[in-house]
Amino acid sequence: MIKVLLVDDDQALFNVTRILLEKEGDMTVELCNSPSEALEMLRSGNFDAMVCDYQMPVMDGIEILTLIRKSGNTIPFILFTGKGNEEVAVKAFSAGANHYLPKAGPPQMVFATLRQMIHDEVRARRGGMQPNTFGTYHRIILEHISDAVWLTDQDLRVLYNSPSVSKVLGYDTECPGTSLRNLLTASGQSCLQSCLEDPCCTTRRSSGTCRSIVLEFVGSSGDIVPLEVRIDTIQGRGEPGKLLFVARPLWGAQPAKG
């Protein structure tokens, strides 16, 4: 039997999710609509997996996950949300989520996928395998998003870039190891440095309320490609924080051509 902790403040969906997860008789689901209560239940209960909504009062699903991972708890965690987007998905995986699943779509397919995710993660955990924190579903998302995504350290050294970077900047590139500054014009570098040094921007990045800025990147043939960029801070588990850059062409602009 698999014991699941389900956290969601939508009472109607709350009940439907429990019914559909329990219908095969191989799962039991405990419900919780309070983030703080969920953390307490997780400390005192013996759960095999956690399914959590993203947008909730007081604390969102990624904030809950961050606290769980900081405590050293490696329980399989699935962010199950109707309010998410590409950026939320990347942040969720960076915080240590095992899977990200939008609630949109045919209910039968959505809940079948959710059940399979739970089964796969619990089976891996019980078999002594490492949970899938950067697995199939993560790669599918990153391979199909249109925004360019970079994950860097505090010195702007690129740790990861999405395949879409090549489409946005017009050349086939693998950025890991290089500095993000190398992809910017002098003006773009100056603008980015000012943003990173601004205390107000630092506070907004840490709280998840950072605003977008426009940075000038250098395309494949030397052309200037202005992108609207959102920068967020990703707090690591016992590691220095990382910077997440999600960029898209300005409205009406065309991606660079190689």
d(CA 147, CA 162): 8
Domains of the chain: 2-138 (3.40.50.2300), 147-249 (3.30.450.20)
Give 36's pLDDT tier (boundaries 50, 70, 90): confident
| % of the chain beyond a pLDDT of 90 | 26
| pTM, rounded to two decimals | 0.57
pLDDT tens across 134-186, in order?
Answer: 445 555 566 667 888 888 888 998 877 788 888 888 866 555 568 899 999 99
Least confident of 9-18, 169-178, 185-194: 169-178
Backbone angles phi, psi at 62, to 5 degrees: -70, -35
Q: Provide, rounded to the nearest whole percent, the portion of the chain with pLDDT above 70.
A: 80
Calpha distance 94→97 (Å, rounded): 7
Tell me: pLDDT of 258 over 70. Answer: no
pLDDT at 242: 83
Evaluate whether 253 touches 228 at the Cβ level (below 8 Å).
Answer: no
Question: How much is the pLDDT for 133?
Answer: 45
CB 227 within 8 A of CB 169: no
Indicate the pLDDT class of residue 87, thresholds 50, 70 and 90. confident
How do residues 198-240 score in pLDDT, each as one tens digit? Answer: 877 655 545 555 678 999 999 888 889 999 999 988 765 455 6
Q: Which of the residue ranges 29-33, 43-47, 208-212 has the most confident prediction, judged by mean pLDDT?
A: 29-33
Amino acid at 188: G
